[in-house]
Amino acid sequence: MLTDKLLMGILRAGALMAALVMLLILIFLMHESWPALSTLSIGRFMTDASWHPLEGAYNLMPMLSGTLLASAGALLLAVPLGLASAIFIVFYAPPYPAAIYKRLIELLSGIPSVVFGFWGLTTLVPLINQWHPPGASLLAGIGVLALMILPTVTLTAYTALAAVPDELLRNAAALGLSRWGMVQGVAMPAARTGIAAGIILAAARALGETMAVLMVAGNVVQYPETLFDPVRTLAANIALETAYAMGDHRAVLFVSGLLLMLLVMALSGVAGLLEKRRHA
Amino acid sequence: MREMKNIHTAQVLRERAVQFLIYVAVLLISAVFIWILADLARGGIAHLSWEFLTESPRDAGRAGGIASILVSTLLILLVALLTAVPVAWTSAILLVEFVPADSPFGKTVRFSLHVLAGVPSIVFGLFGNAFFCIYLGLGFSILSGGLTLACMLLPILTSTAEAGLRAVPHAYRMSASALGMTHTAALVHLILPAAAPVLAAGLLLGIGRALAETAALLFTSGYVERMPDSLLDSGRALALHIFDLSMNVPGGDMPAYASALVLAGLLLCINITAMKFAHGLQRRKIMT
Amino acid sequence: MSLINNRLVVKTGMSKNFRYVLIHLFFLAIVVACVAQAQAQMPTKTASQRLVLTGSSTIAPLAGEIARRFESLHPGVRIDVQTGGSSRGIHDVRKGIAAIGMVSRALKPDEADLQAFTIAQDGISIIVHAGNPVITLSRKQIADIYTGRITHWNAAGGTDARITVVNKAEGRSTLELFLDYLQLKNSEIKPHVIIGDNAQGIKTVIGNPHAIGYVSIGAAEYEARRGAPVRLLSLGGVEASVENVRQGIFPLSRPLNLVTSSEPQGLVRRFIEFARSPQVHDLVRAQYFVPVNAD
């Protein structure tokens, strides 16, 4: 019993540390963005004419829309493809191809975003440019982001699906369900929590991805009208300008960091709500 | 009777269609990824040599190798994992085994981890710079970089470990308590080994993320390409080296490709060992 | 059954809250002790002649090479070159985090508290794709292209294709210099692509036959000489080349500076003098910048 208590203590310390880190980061962001939050009214981030921080215009909304569109597009591509990949590995592929394909995906999960960006800049962007200039566009951003989050979706969905107890699947098979019937009716619902966690992880990654998007999305601050218009995301904005920003400009960049964090909080909140509704 | 048959053919058709779609998706993904890897290999293989792995960079990285950068990268990774893994996995164990899923404590920790997962890496970098480098006085160092990275890895490691532990069948826990095992014993001998492959998969995801990180390290572990003497020295990570070569140094493309290739190779080795280890652990612990 | 068990454990755990608080404190104490230990080691390290440079990513590769040579001539000295942008250099020098800042532009009037030492010159060149027939553009034409009054190349002596305008991100010294030359404000520019660093600009133009951009001359000349399909446009009748920057006749050039917060002393002074001496001219040229002659 003593070991149990000791264990509890260690575990609680660990969890506390995790929460502490989050608190520290939040405090840090608040502290750094305070100069802007206290002197500029919140409305200015929504109603200013444009984003020209050196000329005192701080509209963050076009970049917010860029971030949301790029992430949503990437998820739209990556979630079905990632789920298909995971289902392929667990239920459809013969053992050997499954192992190879899984290794390929694992390998890709560790390719630096810089390399994806690099590839996008030298291959994908010129390709799109031939189709519809200028090439560096929302579409290119979505493409590169989808490639980047695909391994996350696939690997988390794979682990969730692989962890579904064999008995469940055997029961389903005994009931005469087809393979897809089994996947759709038994395995997917059983693995739901894990898959959802993976998708949230991927969405968060997409929202916060910096380098790859910066290299291919064109970075023009505007509301995109078509897929071929260049956009700038909040994270790319932080990466592009922080190194050169001073004073208010720097503080506003931290505000955009805060905004990004709120976005993820909202996402996480919505996910929690959905989960609760399912259970009810 | 005919109706039955119709349902049956419809089902077969659907089955075929789904299978077809899944294979198309997999082929598509493989094709694109092999295209990228082939591009990397074509660009980098000519530059790759034994000297490239054993020499330090010269002429801003255009000449020489990446030995010192590899050492720094591994040290940063080691610091990050040694800090993040215990914290993350203990949190996960607590969340799954000891705290009801809907308790305020569990919710708070889980929520803060979700939020942490969405902080852009450059913000981690700025935070690490302000907190570890300046406030704690660690300066630009491998230690600061590793600790910053550890903060970044926390959510990934925790949420994958949580998913893995939750997937361990409930029967295990019931049998353990029926046998009068303490909670700790059940955890160490039964539940953790059963979840080992998933823990390992999460670890791999984390390692991949850590090795690939640039923005968070630029402001923390720094840019110095010298061989580090201690954890308090600044050391450049491999991904940052690739970024600098491809974006900042004219004529750095070849070594950038080669470095990316080395990074991919490194990751492959780590993946294979981690998976082997996890499977071994699972078999040995549960069988005996 | 085990769920009930779980709850029970939690309950007993709660009632002994005090003990857990103690354990937490113990854990934190260990962490703090480690950090303090590490901190205690720091001063002894810095005492053995360590110099930290931070700032401009343009200068960082050059500074790293100079530092390496300086270290080999002065054993026992360590020079750490960090990057992060010109603003970071100024910020860190003012805060005393770094002894020397790297700033890839002339100092502004509100930075008069700092001292600047130029170690090299760099120019900015307009670049287009090599397949573009346009050889030269006037200042007015460039301004018209960047403000969207000229949208197709045929208005500037090229083919009937839509121009892709490549601009730099806000805050970059290249952008400031370029705007200054054209007498424009950044909000007047209508860009199609915004880039960060030089190599990204060159790669963007290589990938888009109808693009126009501006980057560091050294980087562009290097790529063009290696056969990459980019062309440097001459500006105001002066050919864009490192040579013309050296002669001081190219209209768009900037100094690469090392800055300090006060009159440099000791090691800082020796390093700055070394970085401005002819001993490093080959290093400066190797990074495609123009060496300066100290006085």
Checking if the pLDDT of B192 tops 60, the result is yes
Checking if the pLDDT of C2 tops 70, the result is no
For B104-126, write each residue's pLDDT tens digit. Answer: 877 777 778 877 877 778 788 88
Q: Facing residues of C258 across strands?
A: C102, C117
Checking if the pLDDT of C251 tops 70, the result is yes
- Check residue C127 and give its pLDDT: 94
Cβ–Cβ below 8 Å for C20 and A8: yes
| Nearest neighbour of B264 by CB, restricted to A111, A147, A194 | A111
Cβ–Cβ below 8 Å for B244 and C61: yes
Say what angle helices B192-211 and B142-167 make with each other, to 10 degrees. Answer: 140
- Helix, strand, coil share (%) of chain A residues, nearest 5: 80, 0, 20
Distance CA B167, CA B155 (A): 18
**How many angstroms separate the Cα of B233 from the Cα of each of A32, A237, B70?**
27, 30, 14
| Nearest neighbour of B249 by CB, restricted to C10, C42, C61 | C61
Reported as a pLDDT band with limits 50, 70 and 90, residue C43 is very low
Do C98 and C261 form a contact (C-beta atoms < 8 A)?
no
Cβ–Cβ below 8 Å for B251 and C222: yes
Domain coordinates in residue numbering, chain B: 50-287
Cβ–Cβ below 8 Å for C193 and A134: yes
Among C7, C82, C132, C192, which would you mutate to test the A interface (most chain A Cβ atoms within 10 Å of its Cβ)? C192
Average pLDDT over residues C268-289: 91
Do B88 and B154 form a contact (C-beta atoms < 8 A)?
yes
| Nearest neighbour of B120 by CB, restricted to A15, A165, A210 | A210
Do B252 and C202 form a contact (C-beta atoms < 8 A)?
no
Distance CA B119, CA B75 (A): 24
* CA B152 to chain centroid: 10
| Nearest neighbour of C193 by CB, restricted to A218, A239, A246 | A218
If you count them, how many residues does chain C have?
Answer: 295
The overall pTM is greater than 0.90:
no
Cβ–Cβ below 8 Å for C208 and A129: yes
Q: For residue A148, which amino acid is it?
A: M
Do B36 and A110 form a contact (C-beta atoms < 8 A)?
no
Burial tier of B110 (Cβ tally within 10 Å: 0-12, 13-18, 19+): buried
Rounded to a whole number, what is the distance in Å from the CA of A168 to chain C's nearest CA? Answer: 21
Contacts of C34 (CB under 8 A, 6+ apart): none
Do B147 and B139 form a contact (C-beta atoms < 8 A)?
no
DSSP state for residue C123 in the 8-state scheme: E
Say what angle helices B192-211 and A95-109 make with each other, to 10 degrees. Answer: 50
- Map residue C100 onto helix, strand or coil: strand
Checking if the pLDDT of B210 tops 50, the result is yes
Reported as a pLDDT band with limits 50, 70 and 90, residue C273 is very high
Reported as a pLDDT band with limits 50, 70 and 90, residue C39 is very low
Do A46 and A61 form a contact (C-beta atoms < 8 A)?
yes
Query: Which two structure tokens, joined as six digits, stand for C238?
Result: 């002066």
What is the four-CA torsion angle of A235, A238, A241, A247, rounded to 10 degrees? 160
Cβ–Cβ below 8 Å for B250 and C286: no
Reported as a pLDDT band with limits 50, 70 and 90, residue C18 is very low
Checking if the pLDDT of B212 tops 90, the result is no
Instruction: Name the A residues in 196-255 with CB < 8 Å from any C CB.
Output: 214-215, 218-221, 230, 232, 239-246, 249-250
Distance CA A167, CA C211 (A): 61
Distance CA C114, CA C108 (A): 10
- Check residue A259 and give its pLDDT: 87
Do C116 and C105 form a contact (C-beta atoms < 8 A)?
no
Q: For residue C40, which amino acid is it?
A: A
Task: Locate the chain B residue with the closest alpha carbon to A215.
Answer: B247
Rounded to a whole number, what is the distance in Å from the CA of B124 to chain A's nearest CA? Answer: 8
Checking if the pLDDT of B155 tops 80, the result is yes
Checking if the pLDDT of B44 tops 80, the result is yes
Distance CA B88, CA B94 (A): 10
Pairing of strands C164-168, C193-195: parallel
| Nearest neighbour of B29 by CB, restricted to A8, A81, A181 | A81
Cβ–Cβ below 8 Å for B204 and A158: no
> For residue A236, how many C-alpha atoms fall within 13 Å in the half-sphere facing its CB?
34
Burial tier of C18 (Cβ tally within 10 Å: 0-12, 13-18, 19+): exposed
Q: Where do we find the tokens 């290589």?
A: C206
Among A131, A244, A248, A250, which would you mutate to test the C interface (most chain C Cβ atoms within 10 Å of its Cβ)? A244
Which residues in A51-78 are b (16+ Cβ under 10 Å) and which e? bbbbeeebbbebbbebbebbbebbbebb
Task: Please give the residue that has the higher pLDDT: either B183 or C47.
Answer: B183
C86 touches chain A (CB under 8 A): yes
Query: Which two structure tokens, joined as six digits, stand for B102?
Result: 């809907």
Checking if the pLDDT of C24 tops 60, the result is no
Helix locations, C57-166, DSSP H: 60-73, 86-95, 139-147
Distance CA A116, CA A211 (A): 9
| Nearest neighbour of C97 by CB, restricted to B134, B138, B174 | B134
Residue pLDDT tens, chain A, 280 long: 677 788 788 888 878 887 888 888 888 888 888 888 888 878 888 888 888 887 888 889 999 999 999 999 999 999 999 999 999 999 888 889 998 998 888 888 878 788 888 888 888 888 888 888 778 889 999 999 999 999 989 988 998 888 788 888 888 888 888 888 888 888 888 888 888 888 888 888 888 888 888 888 888 888 988 889 999 999 888 888 877 777 788 888 888 888 888 888 788 777 777 767 666 5
* CA A20 to chain centroid: 23
Do C256 and C62 form a contact (C-beta atoms < 8 A)?
yes
Distance CA B23, CA B8 (A): 23
Rounded to a whole number, what is the distance in Å from the CA of B110 to chain C's nearest CA? Answer: 18
Quote the mean pLDDT of chain C: 82
Rounded to a whole number, what is the distance in Å from the CA of C2 to chain B's nearest CA? Answer: 6
Query: Which two structure tokens, joined as six digits, stand for C289?
Result: 């910048």
Using alpha carbons, select from C226, C196, C222, C193 the residue that is nearest to residue C210. Answer: C193
Task: Locate the chain C residue with the closest alpha carbon to A135.
Answer: C208
Task: Please give the residue that has the higher pLDDT: either C22 or A119.
Answer: A119
Checking if the pLDDT of C253 tops 50, the result is yes
Measured over the CA atoms of residue C44, residue C47, residue C48 and residue C49, the dihedral's sign is positive
Phi, psi of B78 (to 5 degrees): -60, -50
Phi, psi of C124 (to 5 degrees): -120, 130
H helix or E strand, kind and range, residue B219:
none
The architecture that CATH gives domain B50-287 is: Orthogonal Bundle (1.10)
Using alpha carbons, select from B129, B127, B281 the residue that is nearest to residue B197. Answer: B281
**How many angstroms separate the Cα of C210 from the Cα of each of A30, B2, B21?**
44, 64, 39
Task: Please give the residue that has the higher pLDDT: either A275 or C168.
Answer: C168
| Nearest neighbour of B122 by CB, restricted to A162, A200, A210 | A210
Distance CA A39, CA A36 (A): 5
Query: Which two structure tokens, joined as six digits, stand for B105?
Result: 């404590």
Contacts of B44 (CB under 8 A, 6+ apart): B254, B257, B258, B259, B260, B261
Query: Which two structure tokens, joined as six digits, stand for B31?
Result: 């094709």
Distance CA C264, CA C275 (A): 13
Reported as a pLDDT band with limits 50, 70 and 90, residue C31 is low
Query: Which two structure tokens, joined as six digits, stand for A26?
Result: 């939040």
Phi, psi of C160 (to 5 degrees): -85, 75
- Check residue A121 and give its pLDDT: 85
> For residue A153, how many C-alpha atoms fall within 13 Å in the half-sphere facing its CB?
25
Query: Which two structure tokens, joined as six digits, stand for A88?
Result: 């392929």
Quick count: other Cβ atoms within 10 Å of Cβ B205?
25
Residues of C near B (Cβ–Cβ under 8 Å) read 1-3, 5-7, 9-10, 13, 35, 38-39, 41-42, 45, 52, 57-58, 60-62, 64-65, 68, 80-84, 97, 196-200, 202, 218-219, 222-223, 226, 286-288
Checking if the pLDDT of C41 tops 60, the result is no
- Cis-peptide into B250, omega within 30 deg: no
Distance CA C224, CA C219 (A): 9
| Nearest neighbour of A22 by CB, restricted to B115, B183, B211 | B115
Do A150 and A219 form a contact (C-beta atoms < 8 A)?
no
Cβ–Cβ below 8 Å for C208 and A232: no
Using alpha carbons, select from B267, B229, B262 the residue that is nearest to residue B77. Answer: B267
Do C104 and C256 form a contact (C-beta atoms < 8 A)?
yes
Average pLDDT over residues C106-111: 87
Average pLDDT over residues B63-82: 92
Checking if the pLDDT of B134 tops 60, the result is yes
Query: Which two structure tokens, joined as six digits, stand for C253?
Result: 């050039």
Distance CA A91, CA A179 (A): 8
Distance CA C81, CA C101 (A): 10
Burial tier of B204 (Cβ tally within 10 Å: 0-12, 13-18, 19+): buried
B143 touches chain C (CB under 8 A): yes
Cα of first residue to Cα of last residue in chain B, in angstroms, is 54
Cβ–Cβ below 8 Å for C64 and B225: yes
Rounded to a whole number, what is the distance in Å from the CA of C211 to chain A's nearest CA? Answer: 8
Say what angle helices B67-93 and B253-287 make with each other, to 10 degrees. Answer: 40
